[in-house]
Structure 1
Amino acid sequence: MKFRSILAVLLAATAVSAFAQTPNDEGLQFFEAKIRPVLVQHCYSCHSVQARDAKKLKGKLFLDSAEGVLDGGESGAVIVKGKSAESLLIKALKHDGIEMPPSGKLSSEIVADFAKWIDLGAPDPRKGDAPAKPKREISLEEGRQWWSFQPLKSVEPPTVAAGTSSASSIDRFVVAAQQTHGLKPNGPATKEKLIRRAYFDLIGLPPTPEQIAAFVTDASPQAFEKVIDGLLASQHYGEKWARHWLDAARFAESGGYEFDGFRPGAFHYRDWVIRSLNSDMPYDQFVRMQLAGDVLLPDDIQGAAASGFLVAGPYPGQITAKTVERIRYDQLDDMLMTIGGAMLGLTIGCVRCHEHKYDPIPHQDYYALAAAFAKTSHGSRTLDLDSAATQQAIEKHQADHEPLVAALRTFAANELPKRFESWRAAELAKQPDAPRWQVLEPVSLEAERSWLKELPGGIVAHDGLLNPGLKIRQRGQRRAVGNEEQYRITLHTHQKNVTSLRFDLFADKSLPQRGPGLNGDGSFQLVELKVTATPLGLMAKDAPVELKLKPVFAAFEDKDQPLSNALDGKPATAWVVRETAKKDNAAVFELETPLAGFAGGTELLVDLKFRDLGIGRLRFSLSTEPNPATWAGDVVPQHLGEIRAILAANGNKLPDALREPMTRWFAPFDTETAKVVRTVRDHTAAAPRPNLSEVYTTVAGGQDVFFLRRGEVDNKQGKSEPGFMQVLWRGDGPAVPAKTEPPIDPRVALGDWMTNVDRGAGPLLARVIVNRLWQHHFGEGLVGTPNDFGVQGDKPTHPELLEWLAAELVRGGWKLKPLHKQIMLSAAYQQSHEVNAENLKIDQANRYLWHFQPRRLDAELIRDSLLAMGGNLDISMFGASILDNTPRRSVYLRVKRSELIPLMTMFDAPEPTQSIGERISTTVPTQALAMMNSPFVRQQAEKLALRIRPSKDAPLGAAVDRAYQMAVARLPTELERSRMLAFVEDQRAAMGGDAVVATDKALIEFCHVLLCLNEFVYID
């Protein structure tokens, strides 16, 4: 078909004209973090220059230099770049025929790291026969002379040649550099290209034809400024720019490694980043929150979500006693590498094993920084999504509740006595005798992980999990949450000489497998049952009494796991009901000594501790008779028994002090009393609940941090105390937190130091973030290595401009949105992408910004644009992550380290194992094939075809025009229009049959071609 030939040509054009970028330093960072430390610890003793000099070299193999690794040894090459499965080194590490190291097999995590390193191409910065010891060290005084470690300088925009006096401050820096090198900048881009550029840069979505037309027809000088203001105010701004930060933060929702366990609630960090960017949170606060949000805002989900930054990195799911300490230091290393790269633009991870080879970062600085996180571990917490709103609702509920309680008390004081006395005299004697078992109605219900509610008949029912993300799983499956549940049920009684307690458990269709337990198979494991009796009444002075229970009956219990296990005080044992689940059950306990009861009544606190989840339906009863019946039938509510007990203890009269409690017991026998009591109980039951959610974040844990010689956990050299990087310290005395009372949290102190412009790392912090903004507007930063501002990184192409931007950020209160606006209003940003031959001879790399550099859209933006073309993009925000078949924005896609989405990785979405400052941008045939053959792309082409379907008022030519406007923000040229119309006609003729159906099918082919254009996936 002609369609295939045209499509092939278009896709070939895509491959030829793409603007590829050079790879970033991801592989080198991975080598420094994961490979070099292992080589130093386990390999250099036998395979290094030092081993050769000591006559201990084995197999003529040198592993202490890149050249040595590539040369191999007596057995031949040890690695095949990009092919770990074919590499002898991996076989040796697995002890597959060859055993390295001979002292013992390394962990599977380390072997996996080496395999990944080889698959990355075995990047290795070591030169020649480099020994383990660094070649040189830079002194702190010398290091402080490096441009990025100096205080912020006051820089004025330069004066430029005539004709550019009206240029913005940014343009004056840019033009001055161009004039120095004899370059002439391009003129402005067309308005169509400019608005498309702005939309993708700020919100990551294409403009609609209507938005384009409104801008093109707006002749005011402020037209583009109005577009920028609108986009910065859009909620989509945070979604687009969060994606850049999430790369730097190595965000994912699983632990990585072979188990790659899912992290419930990790998405809250992503949502926090989006919200923070949308609100234009000052960047210094943005940094402090990620370092210590859980400390700055304790018990607030926003604080917990923010500090999820620290623990977003990979973490093994299988840890042994032998590896736990090494993995802990690996986690600290991950935190420092990410903070260093993402926030400070430094390769701090290189210093775990030795002094930094190039930057002025001593070994001790690394461990001083690590010590700030000594007590920081990872885990989940369950917190309120909006604690302020919940507190406000609770306060309102309490205010509304007080008049109802007051009305009940007034009724109890004034109306109840005469109504009760009338009933007592006429009706009490007619009531049946109390049976052996009297149901106890709960007064209050509490649980660690569940909501509980009262049902009629005194039944306590499970009413949902406190943590909605918690999974109730089948027997034998492990959960990544705490494995205990505790209930506390409060009961009141005025009975005397209580002899026995009964515990009924009910099956119900609402429970897993009908229950009565809440585990996936209906089972439960009751580890402990404890009942404590305390006196009722404010004036009571009797001490609480823990009741000694003796199990006398259980309807069902698993073999070797009897009811008595719940009373033995051993946390390892439990009353287990699994084999006989799905049925009603009951247990009876006798009191070793009958409970005489307190004068003003008795409060029974029933504490139940479960392994895993609890019970879904339960009820408590008491008896005052010896040897009560053990099973169903002889059970009634406690009201009548309580009335008789109160009267018997008080000379057949109702004491004033018990009038209010009596309303509860008398309600079933009196309509007016029931109304008052029901009003209070119904309002109590309607109390607002917090909207709880699990969040993956930092939790208390860890242990002291020690200096490690060569980074080895078995080679400790003394405890490290929290401190800062000396080269960036501008205070008096040592680079450590100030001593205060109470002591400041070390992570808070670190955040304060990092954001301090006068005494701390603030100048570097500002330079790094403004460089990131510039990078994502121009395709490359003023510093070409966004995660490395050290000696090995690139120097800025426009150092004065970078300094001015950093100072401007600080002057503006660290707000990012105003800086976006200044950058985008510059002539440098708005110029066209055309290439001038004379300029190209002088500056082929466009380092001096004489034209706009076209760049491909990120993977997420390509997917979002395809959804926008189909008109089925769901713009709902926040919440749990989605699978790739859901048409929401790609920032909400689930990020599981072992299951990255193929379409995303095809277009260079990175693997989130470490901080990514710059994505690579490849151009490979498989990308064109993916666009041509992807069912998703085809589906969106079909939807786009429906949106442009011609009509009487919009003929086929208008449909082609509209499709071009939607896809590439411009009308087709006359040549393009004629060719595409001819293509549609050819396709329609080839389809045959009904003309309308053939037209629809032909338009789908046309739309598919359009979505495969190079122009569709590029900003120019």
Structure 2
Amino acid sequence: MRSKCLAWRRSRVGWLIVLLVLSEAQGGVGVADEPQAPLFEHQVLPILRAHCFKCHGLEGRKAGLDLRTVALMLRGGEHGAVLVKGDSAKSLLFQKTSTRAMPPGDEKKLSDAQIQAIKGWIKAGAVTSARDGPVTEAEAPRVAEQDRQFWAFCKPTRPGLLQVRHVERMRTGVDTFVLTKLEAKGLNFLPDAERLTLMRRAYFDLIGLPPSPEEVDAYLADEAPNAYERLIDRLLASPHFGERWGRHWLDVAGYADTLGSDNDAGIIRMAEGKWQYRDYVVRSFNSDKSFDRFLTEQLAGDELVDWRSAEKFTPETLDLLVATGFLRNAPDTTTEPELNTAVTRYQVLNDTIQIVTSSLLGLTVQCARCHSHKYDPIPQLDYYRLTAIFTPALNPQDWQPPPERALPDVSPAEKGAIDQHNAEIERQVAELTRQPAELRRPYETKLAAAKLDAIPEPIRADTKAAIETPADKRTEIQKYLASKFEASLKLKPEEVTAALSEADKAVATKIEQQVATLNSQKRSFGRIQALADVGPPLPTYLLRRGDYEMPGLVVDPGFLSVLCATNPPLPSGERDRGEGLESNVDRPLLATPPTAPTSRRRLEFAHWLTKPDTPAAGLVARVMVNRIWHHLFGQGIVTTLDNFGKNGARPTHPELLDWLAVDLMESGWRVKPFIKLIMTSTVYRQASASHLSPPGKGAGGEGSPVHAQPDSVTVDPDNTLLWRQRLRRLESEVIRDSILATSGKLDQTIGGPPIPIEARPDGMVVVADKGLPSPTSPYRRSLYLLARRNYQPTILSVFDQPVLATNCPLRTYSAVSLQSLTMLNDAFVLEQAGHFAHRVAAVAGPATDQRIELAFRIALARRSTAPEYQWGSDLLQRQTDRYLKQKPPGLSSEQAADKALANLCQMLLNTNEFLYVE
């Protein structure tokens, strides 16, 4: 043991000798390294952040001074530079802090140690780790060519159609790509769904409402070979198509009618006129506006027209401004002064970037805010290049809270004329209203004197003085007198009116009528939630670690490098605005003259996103067709709708995705023909269950039971290959709307301000019962109910209505007991079941068999089977007897039968067949 210890000590001494020799070779033993100069980021920045940034940072730049970086201090403010490197005595920063002149007033002053730290830093040369100026080409991160080869970043090309064995199952090019993969596994499509099943599927997918019995009869009576195609055309032409598909877009846009985060159930801060953006979206889908135009209007509608100098807004001009409400969807809490901070402003800007990139590009670009993206080739510099596109309108250094961003829905010239017109009316009204006051003054004096005379003479003068003395300056005696007599001496307007002579009353009445006439002539205008540049673009900085208090280099606006053909070169100084927008897709955006009314940055961004034959447009098209596919099949070809990056899912049918993307672009980005292409395919028309039988004679079935291939479930249990259509639960809004349609109460009015909702003390959120525009307002489609971020109507939230922190690229669906309990006990459901029963009774009369048949046809778009008819008959008889036996008695046989019918109708609303689409 002793020998081991000695050996260890000898080896340790040997290593020490080696280290000593190496140390001497590097400059000798015991010679300390020269002390490093103090660094701004370590020694000084924490002091300034704690004491100075409130007035001289992003949130406030008093005297034009920003102290967040050395470069900004050298640039200075109204009094020039505040920093002279190496000379603290000449540095205004040291002068003001060392004399305790700053921070001002009662603000906490710097300690002696902090002042000495600033002095030492300046004396050492005011060293900083940050470099001033724009990013240089050497500093700009490069995207490797290998990264551009990832499937989502490649320009899509139309693949050729492949040969398949089961040619008879092909209807469109869509079927080729799906059938190829199925046949490779020995599988085939399921047979087509039955006509009524397919009809109901099409109705819910295209307009979000069930077909009526009359519509079912008309469809079944149409025996033409193209009856289904004509049905699709009718539904695509329906004004309710825009409501259905507009709702899908509003999810990814993060639409809400409220301002801020909406964290208090009882407080609703309305975004004035925001509903016009919702109606714009509905109109756009109804008119089949091309998606590239739809995208461009939402990103830069204000830059497509010179609205500032327009004499009058045309409907088209107003639409373009309303469209930019897309960029006002991020929750913005800066309405509250205490929340109008740099942190909140940047959060609004960052949320806007997230909404834009997730909805249009399907990328998690927000992950590059603090550092380069961990998975995708998105450098942090690219994030701030994108940010610079939006900072002319959403600049944290020149911020406008939401109320100031609300634009009048008339042109500036019209607003000026309206303001001038109303000012003249107000002048005339003010002149008129002075006349009644002069007319009443003698009566007021006389009545006041009479009231005062009623006070006993010994205390009259003291009482008058007590009342005329301000309440906080009265003596104890005056307080007593005022409490006793002030109320009786107070003159009421109606007393003066009653005292007027008949002639004076006539004069007063005439003046009131003149005032009312003038006020009725006032003109008004509404407001819209639009976005426009607020002034010349200010510098955009690359924020180190995403911290606004650590601005780095100046960043020019630009695009995602990975979607450009080459790494974008840095600006060359002089840039010609005369060059066309579309020649610019692989370069940073062009500079903007200071006098330009708009930077055009967002417009260039929109052109870059949609320029034909580019990777960017290809990605936009892939994302859009994938969303459409998801809404028609319940799952996208890429299941991660908002993540097409390396950490997202891979496409199950990549060739099909590219074929669809190219088809959308080559067909002019038109959505309606694209949807029809998919819905007329065999893959869409398939049955959704592996074992189905027709629902009974007369139900509209077309033949033998539908059976899947024996091994399809084993080979593809998750239906990834699409050997069947998916069974899908209806969305929350469609469930509510279908209940209303079934009850016959649905108000199908399109557009307009949102219908108010309210949170009750019991925790339920319901449609308000007061202040509604019309008696049928509670029965409007769910799209038109007030859209809140966190407090949706209970009937919707139970069925997974999304909570909008920012936006909702992908809804989730659940099947929980609370949904069943709601359908059994919710007051809204019970009320609508009663209306449903009245609708059935009014048409079917008292006959049980006709009541059952009509109830099934209205709720499920089919006739009942024999077992279902027997169940319904037994239920009606059992419930009728039960109501007749209730104590105390009081129901007639007819009333008991009607209540039993309401029970039957409610049970049909509770069926899976009502809540799901096959």
- TM-score in terms of structure 1 length: 0.58
CA offsets per residue over residues 594-651 of structure 1, 9 Å max, x none?
xxxxxxxxxxxxxxxxxxxxxxxxxxxxxxxxxxxxxx99x9xxxxxxxxxxxxxxxx
User: Which of 286, 292, 295 in structure 2 is aligned with 1:287?
Assistant: 295
1:783 equivalent in structure 2: 638
Contact 1:507-1:582 within 8 A present in 2 as well: no
Deviation, 1:706, is: 1.3
- Tell me which amino acid in the other structure corresponds to 1:708: L
| 1:891 partnered with 2:724 | no
| 1:758 partnered with 2:610 | no
The separation in 2 between residues aligned to 1:816 and 1:181, in whole angstroms, is: 32
2:603 equivalent in structure 1: 748
The separation in 2 between residues aligned to 1:942 and 1:696, in whole angstroms, is: 40
The separation in 1 between residues aligned to 2:648 and 2:531, in whole angstroms, is: 32
2:800 equivalent in structure 1: 908
2:434 equivalent in structure 1: 504
Deviation, 1:959, is: 1.4
Contact 2:196-2:861 within 8 A present in 1 as well: yes
The separation in 2 between residues aligned to 1:273 and 1:258, in whole angstroms, is: 26
Secondary structure at 2:678 match in 1: helix
CA offsets per residue over residues 130-182 of structure 1, 9 Å max, x none?
xxxxxxx9943222111011012121222211443753111111111111122
Deviation, 1:1011, is: 0.6
Once the two structures are overlaid, the 10-residue window that deviates more, 149-158 or 163-172, is 163-172
The separation in 1 between residues aligned to 2:604 and 2:522, in whole angstroms, is: 36
Contact 2:200-2:210 within 8 A present in 1 as well: yes
1:737 equivalent in structure 2: 589
Contact 1:708-1:715 within 8 A present in 2 as well: yes
Query: How is 1:565-714 mapped onto 2 (pairs within 5 angstroms)?
Result: 692-701=525-534, 704-714=539-549
- Tell me which amino acid in the other structure corresponds to 1:897: R
1:845 equivalent in structure 2: 718
Deviation, 1:216, is: 1.7
% identical aligned pairs: 35
- Tell me which amino acid in the other structure corresponds to 1:855: R
The separation in 2 between residues aligned to 1:246 and 1:333, in whole angstroms, is: 19
- Tell me which amino acid in the other structure corresponds to 2:434: D
The separation in 2 between residues aligned to 1:194 and 1:812, in whole angstroms, is: 26
Deviation, 1:317, is: 4.5
User: Which of 626, 631, 636 in structure 2 is aligned with 1:771?
Assistant: 626
| 1:825 partnered with 2:677 | no
Q: Which runs of no fewer than 5 residues in structure 2 stay unpaired?
A: 1-44, 47-140, 309-316, 395-400, 439-467, 471-489, 495-503, 508-516, 571-586, 691-707, 758-765, 768-777, 885-890
The separation in 1 between residues aligned to 2:166 and 2:793, in whole angstroms, is: 53
1:1019 equivalent in structure 2: 917
- Tell me which amino acid in the other structure corresponds to 1:256: S
Deviation, 1:709, is: 0.7
1:722 equivalent in structure 2: 557
| 1:195 partnered with 2:199 | yes
CA gap of 1:782–1:691, structure 2 versus 1, over 3 A, is: farther
User: Which of 955, 964, 968 in structure 1 is aligned with 2:860?
Assistant: 968
The separation in 1 between residues aligned to 2:433 and 2:303, in whole angstroms, is: 43
| 1:981 partnered with 2:873 | yes
CA gap of 1:453–1:867, structure 2 versus 1, over 3 A, is: farther
The separation in 2 between residues aligned to 1:218 and 1:453, in whole angstroms, is: 65
Deviation, 1:301, is: 2.7
| 1:239 partnered with 2:243 | yes
Contact 2:689-2:727 within 8 A present in 1 as well: no
CA gap of 1:333–1:953, structure 2 versus 1, over 3 A, is: closer
2:13 equivalent in structure 1: none
Contact 2:533-2:599 within 8 A present in 1 as well: no
Once the two structures are overlaid, the 10-residue window that deviates more, 290-299 or 689-698, is 689-698
User: Which of 370, 395, 419 in structure 2 is aligned with 1:447?
Assistant: 419
- Tell me which amino acid in the other structure corresponds to 1:194: L
2:393 equivalent in structure 1: 376
Secondary structure at 2:343 match in 1: helix
Secondary structure at 2:328 match in 1: coil
1:367 equivalent in structure 2: 384
Deviation, 1:804, is: 0.8
Secondary structure at 2:530 match in 1: strand
2:655 equivalent in structure 1: 800
CA offsets per residue over residues 697-725 of structure 1, 9 Å max, x none?
22544954211111111111022221100
The separation in 1 between residues aligned to 2:639 and 2:861, in whole angstroms, is: 30
Instruction: Name which structure has the greater RCO, CA cutoff 8 Å, separation 6+.
Output: 1
Once the two structures are overlaid, the 10-residue window that deviates more, 694-703 or 840-849, is 694-703
User: Which of 864, 869, 874 in structure 1 is aligned with 2:737?
Assistant: 864
Once the two structures are overlaid, the 10-residue window that deviates more, 704-713 or 317-326, is 317-326
- Tell me which amino acid in the other structure corresponds to 1:331: V
1:436 equivalent in structure 2: none
CA offsets per residue over residues 388-427 of structure 1, 9 Å max, x none?
9x99xx9xxxxxxxxxxxxxxxxxxxxxxxxxxxxxxxxx
Deviation, 1:739, is: 5.4
Contact 1:382-1:692 within 8 A present in 2 as well: no
Residues matched between the structures, number: 631
The separation in 2 between residues aligned to 1:558 and 1:263, in whole angstroms, is: 46
CA gap of 1:386–1:327, structure 2 versus 1, over 3 A, is: closer
Secondary structure at 1:265 match in 2: coil
2:106 equivalent in structure 1: none
Once the two structures are overlaid, the 10-residue window that deviates more, 861-870 or 249-258, is 249-258
- Tell me which amino acid in the other structure corresponds to 2:530: T
Once the two structures are overlaid, the 10-residue window that deviates more, 191-200 or 738-747, is 738-747
Contact 2:262-2:788 within 8 A present in 1 as well: no
Deviation, 1:582, is: 10
Query: How is 1:999-1014 mapped onto 2 (pairs within 5 angstroms)?
Result: 999-1014=897-912
Secondary structure at 1:460 match in 2: helix
- Tell me which amino acid in the other structure corresponds to 1:804: W
CA gap of 1:951–1:871, structure 2 versus 1, over 3 A, is: closer
Higher strand share: 1
The separation in 2 between residues aligned to 1:583 and 1:724, in whole angstroms, is: 68
1:459 equivalent in structure 2: 428
Contact 1:157-1:170 within 8 A present in 2 as well: no
Contact 2:844-2:854 within 8 A present in 1 as well: no
| 1:346 partnered with 2:201 | no
CA gap of 1:952–1:165, structure 2 versus 1, over 3 A, is: closer
The separation in 1 between residues aligned to 2:217 and 2:661, in whole angstroms, is: 36
Secondary structure at 2:531 match in 1: strand
CA gap of 1:753–1:689, structure 2 versus 1, over 3 A, is: farther
CA offsets per residue over residues 182-210 of structure 1, 9 Å max, x none?
21211011111111000000000000011
Deviation, 1:969, is: 1.2
CA gap of 1:505–1:331, structure 2 versus 1, over 3 A, is: farther
Q: Which runs of no fewer than 5 residues in structure 1 stay unpaired?
A: 1-40, 43-136, 395-443, 462-488, 490-501, 509-556, 560-579, 585-631, 636-683
Secondary structure at 1:718 match in 2: strand
- Tell me which amino acid in the other structure corresponds to 1:168: T
CA gap of 1:1002–1:365, structure 2 versus 1, over 3 A, is: same
Query: How is 1:201-600 mapped onto 2 (pairs within 5 angstroms)?
Result: 201-254=205-258, 255-256=260-261, 258=263, 261-297=269-305, 298=307, 300-317=317-334, 324-377=341-394, 379-380=402-403, 447=419, 451=422, 454=425, 459-460=428-429, 504=434
CA gap of 1:690–1:183, structure 2 versus 1, over 3 A, is: farther
Contact 1:452-1:460 within 8 A present in 2 as well: no
Deviation, 1:319, is: 5.7
Secondary structure at 1:459 match in 2: helix
CA gap of 1:192–1:348, structure 2 versus 1, over 3 A, is: same
- Tell me which amino acid in the other structure corresponds to 1:180: A
Pairwise CA RMSD: 3.6
Deviation, 1:932, is: 0.4
- Tell me which amino acid in the other structure corresponds to 1:962: L
Higher helix share: 2
The separation in 2 between residues aligned to 1:697 and 1:789, in whole angstroms, is: 30
Deviation, 1:375, is: 2.1
